[in-house]
Amino acid sequence: MQIHKLTPAPIRFARRGNKENPFPGGVGVGCWRQNQMSVKQILTKDNFSREEIITLLTCIGEERTLLFQKSAEVKEKYIGKKVWFRGLIEFSNICSKDCLYCGIRKGNKNLRRYNLSDEEILAAAKFAFDNNYGSLALQSGELESASVTGRIENLLHRIKELSGGKLGITLSVGEQEHEAYKRWFDAGAHRYLLRIEATNEDLYKKIHPRNSKHDFRRRLNCLKSLQNIGYQVGTGVMIGLPFQTNEDLANDLLFMKDFDIDMCGMGPYIEHAETPLIEYAGELLPVGERFDLTLRMIAILRIMMKDINIVAATALQAIDPIGREKAVRIGANIIMPNITPGKYRDSYKLYENKPCTYDSAEDCQSCLEARVSLADNEVVYGEWGDSKHYERRRKDQIQFTTE
């Protein structure tokens, strides 16, 4: 595939500076502008403008601490100091898409492809059930066909059967036709994660091939279809992409608020050597800054959407050994222990330095329990951990239709 040479737009993130010039190169927006609301003032509000979000995204020092304190307070009030597990089964890395940032893209010829058998998937699901996880997540590369639809539908029925209907199920298998989504919903899936990756259509086109297979509008329509069917709908973005600005990230958060999502999974962009975007690796923010920016995004979203579910992404741990714990402290309430059979995990590598690829499912569970405890939270077992926002949103819809 021919990759068009792109000229990156200026990346206007908060850069390292000093007391006299905290944002060198004219990057400073938000916290350091005169005649603008302070972070303390902004945090008294329930709804933020785009400019206020940018201020929060770029705050440093004591103001950054205020942001994290506020988001932690909101989480404790509306969610509690709790974390729910979703046992993650990455059941196939075969993908029809060629996204320019992704390690399992169709064009990566150096990747060992795999597709778990139904028996391997069901054994992993049984582990989740036996260990009282409450829920699992089935994730794979994006494939569309009648056989894929039928296979997943059958697996959903069998997972519900083996758990006596007690396991909650999240799907994350990409763009599909409405009929497929509806069949899976009827078979027992009730949550769906479809990351938009970037809500700026121009940016979206820069990180995907420009063809009908990678259509921004179709991805939006899929999200709307999922919501109309009745799923708890999750989306998310990558943070620290080439060409991305703070304005883009602020608009991403406003999109999630306007769309009225029930869950969010977003994390730092980590480059992969076998992708076209590796060409721009030298122009990215340092990974530590991408990490910190992700924490701010999580904190701001928790304040904006107080009762949604927010995932502490595994990619955070790829940068910081206690990255997921830091996210839990300031707003995240979902962790996804990897229960994929160990021999396959290293082949589902969306980005470099993926953690925990050699841990057993048992080791992963014990490790995460300890990590959550260190973050002054507790793991809730035996519950689905559904989005409280979803429950409230559906009640409002029912009330509206009956009036």
Matching residue, tokens 């068009």: 4
Picking from 26-40, 205-219, 283-297, which range would have the lowest pLDDT averaged per residue? Answer: 26-40
pLDDT, tens only, 25-36? 333 333 444 447
Q: Which two tokens stand for residue 403?
A: 């009036």
Predicted local confidence at residue 4, as pLDDT? 33
The domains of the chain, with CATH numbers, are 81-402 (3.20.20.70)
* Cα gap 188→183, rounded to integer Å: 9
The residues with which 85 forms a beta bridge, in sequence order, are 335
Predicted local confidence at residue 362, as pLDDT? 78
Mean pLDDT of the chain: 90
CB–CB of 362/124 below 8 Å? no
pLDDT band of residue 401 (cuts 50, 70, 90) is low
Under the phi-then-psi rule, with left for phi > 0, alpha for psi from -120 to 50, and beta for the rest, what region is 216? Answer: alpha
Average pLDDT over residues 226-255: 98
Predicted local confidence at residue 394, as pLDDT? 85
Q: Which two tokens stand for residue 363?
A: 């080791």
Percent of the chain with pLDDT over 90: 81
Average pLDDT over residues 275-300: 97
pLDDT, tens only, 259-282? 999 999 999 999 999 999 999 999
Neighbours of 19 (CB within 10 A): 6
CB-based contacts of 111, cutoff 8 Å, min separation 6:
93, 103, 104, 274, 347, 349
Q: DSSP string of 154-185?
A: HHHHHHHHHTTT--EEEEE-----HHHHHHHH
Average pLDDT over residues 90-107: 98
Predicted local confidence at residue 5, as pLDDT? 33
CB–CB of 323/368 below 8 Å? no
Predicted local confidence at residue 395, as pLDDT? 82
